[in-house]
Amino acid sequence: MKKSVDEALAREFGLTSEEYARVVAIMGRTPSLTELGVFSVMWSEHCSYKSSRKWLKTLPTTAPWVIHGPGENAGVVDIGEGYAAIFKMESHNHPSFIEPYQGAATGVGGILRDVFTMGARPVANLNALRFGSPETPRTRQIIDGVVRGIGGYGNCVGVPTVGGEINFHPAYDGNPLVNAMTVGIARKDRIFLSAAAGIGNPVVYVGSRTGRDGIHGATMSSAEFDEHALAKRPTVQVGDPFIEKLLIEACLELMATDAIVAIQDMGAAGLTSSSVEMAGKGGVGIELDLDAVPQREPGMTAYEMMLSESQERMLMVLKPDRTEIARKIFEKWELDFAIIGHLTDTGHIVVKHKGQVEADIPLDPLAEQAPIYDRPAATPVVPGPVEDIHAPLSLDAMLLKLIGSPDLASRAWVWNQYDSTVGGQTVRRPGAADAAIVKIEDTSLGLALTTDCTPRYCQADPKTGGAQAVAEAWRNITATGARPLAVTDNLNFGNPEKPEIMGQFVAAIEGMGEACRVLDFPVVSGNVSLYNETRQPDGSTRAILPTPAIGALGVLEDVTKAVGLGMAEASDLVLVGETKGELGQSIWLREILGREEGAPPSVDLATEKRNGDFVRNAILDGTVRACHDIADGGILVAVAEMVMASRVGCELESPTSGIRPEAFWFGEDQARYLVCVKDGAAFCADAQKNGVPARILGRSGGSDLILPSGVTISAARLTTAHDAFFPTLMAR
């Protein structure tokens, strides 16, 4: 039955009454079903950033090394020797709850296309995952599907998955987060952009055929979930990594010619967004003949083809005299190739199907009159300091409990399902350093890559949490010896129509912006994922913790100078940075005392920069033999991680700090590192000259961690406690 287009249908499609009235005004008539579909996806939160755009514009996006910032498919930075790194992070949250395997797999596929569409060969994938309570059976199903989906797609397409992070919290029970990041490499003079140009130039469709999967995926991603969420499986795309691999190779082969005028992947909103964005950016019109679109299902309507989010598809504008060269390349790789339209001077997108005009929309108003909201934002109330702290267990018992807890336990069960070394350029695998290190083939360059966010900090104080997420990413890159260059972000929040949620978003952006400016760490790409809420049986909704995930990239001019976190033999272990013993929102407080309260640790960005620059210089001049930043779990957890990574032990000295032992050893004060050096006294003297606090904490040797009390924990015992969580959980 054909649906009549009216305000009620528009609301079904995710448009408000006011937005529908604006559509009617732009068109001067009632839109067709296809036209309504185009407006609904292009004006969805997922595609238009209508609640976030105002605030995103406040982030710093430029630096001398930034070649292309936000607005392209991915960010581009100069890494030296004539090369550019191209990278971006995106979410696939809602699809991964509905269908965990395909949701995660197609998230990887989509972000790969964002990168190689700009001419880059993908060299690394990372992911940032948030799951609900481990006690919930559905959580285990989601973990299993998501991890298999990421591994299944990334492994088959031949791009190593080199890093990431995982958190657990009941707030993600009905709404896991799957944020995928891809990094690629291109010659900096061979970057391809998406702005269409050249009236009459052919518009070409390549890749897989179009099916009915993923229709209205973009609008589904812009809505809260309820108890009927699992019924939305048809909105989840189905991916084929083997086709994606062929598509990468075919596109890169074509890019070596001079055939391409513009290129765009078909991601959210599929053929609609790719054609609208290409034509809009180029200031031209576009006419599409859907009869020519390769279809894998019979009887598809114009509406279905325009809104399908079938995977492994690209849209290109080619030079007319190069189309046959392009066709032969794609036929060689056994991929569909079809001329489905041309550029016009009308400024409209015109869609024809079976001799009928199904859509005729002016592009300028579609973009320029898209709603932008300045939503009410309540200022977050920051909790006071945590009080009434006591340590109920011995230092060793608390350490063993912490390293086996969900947020700190070994992720080996996860990363062993990913191929982290395919391509042969991975220098530091997961768990070996604070950031993954990937060598750029045929150069001395190395990239340091990480993803970071501490959602519990953001929940308590979004501004501090936003700043901390950036600072920790910067610190993780610094701890390898790399120079941090730029950030991609994935801003995951609840319903922006609620002032308290919008307040979290605004404050987090403010904190991120400050950190990026002080650390000279611009944001060059990213994604916003809102409406991450789950409707409860009683009708109330529960939002996720605010999660502004930061993906970050740094460069090493000489990759051989990179250091890992494994404890170095016969070294002094030095603590860099000041320790006050901040336990608010700490893992220790949650796991040992069962409390989630207090203010998060304070962030002093000038101190971060001073301490980090000092440590990086010491790594690059060869003084530092191993380095590990101190984050979740504090000093003692960081020491244990260094011991486990190398099976080299360490004897710790008794701290004369004037701080309670649990606060000293488990506090999560920021701007701190542990370094292994040959001569701790000389290092500390040099640090002092540079205004950097540093003290000798212990001496490496043997295979045991010896606490100041004399209690000894073997590396093997630490590892047993550390490794148990995931295998035990997933064997239930």
Residue 38: which H helix or E strand, with range? Answer: helix 33-42
Count Cα neighbours of 396 within 13 Å in the Cβ-side half-sphere: 15
Tell me the residue length of the chain: 732
Give the whole-angstrom CA distance, residue 643 versus residue 10.
Answer: 59
Encode 302-314: b = buried (16+ Cβ within 10 Å), e = exposed.
Answer: bbbbbbbbbbbbb
Residue 94 CA: distances (Å) to CA of 142, 176, 612: 12, 8, 37
Give the whole-angstrom CA distance, residue 395 versus residue 400.
Answer: 9
Among 92, 216, 348, 353, the one annotated catalytic: 92
Contact call for residues 92 and 104 (beta carbons, < 8 A): yes
Residues pairing with 287 in the sheet: 342, 350
Is 46 an annotated catalytic residue?
A: yes
Is the dihedral angle over the CA atoms 30, 33, 38, 39 positive or is it negative?
positive
> How far is it between the farthest Cα atoms of the chain?
85
Give the whole-angstrom CA distance, residue 605 versus residue 611.
Answer: 10
Minimal CA–CA distance to 468: which of 496, 426, 429, 510? 510
Contact call for residues 526 and 561 (beta carbons, < 8 A): no
Residue 399: which H helix or E strand, with range? Answer: helix 395-403
Give the whole-angstrom CA distance, residue 580 versus residue 130.
Answer: 29
Contact call for residues 277 and 264 (beta carbons, < 8 A): yes
Residue 231: CB atoms within 10 A of its CB come to 10
Minimal CA–CA distance to 465: which of 302, 572, 473? 473
Contact call for residues 160 and 421 (beta carbons, < 8 A): yes
CA angle (264 as vertex; 152, 314 as ends), nearest 5: 55
> N- to C-terminal Cα distance for the chain?
47
Q: Which residue has the tokens 């896991």?
A: 176
Among 46, 342, 353, 722, the one annotated catalytic: 46
Coil, strand or helix: which one is 40?
helix
User: Using only C-alpha atoms, what is the Rg of the chain?
Assistant: 26
Give the whole-angstrom CA distance, residue 475 versus residue 672.
Answer: 9
Is 628 an annotated catalytic residue?
A: no
Minimal CA–CA distance to 493: which of 472, 510, 508? 508
What residues are annotated to the active site?
Answer: 46, 92
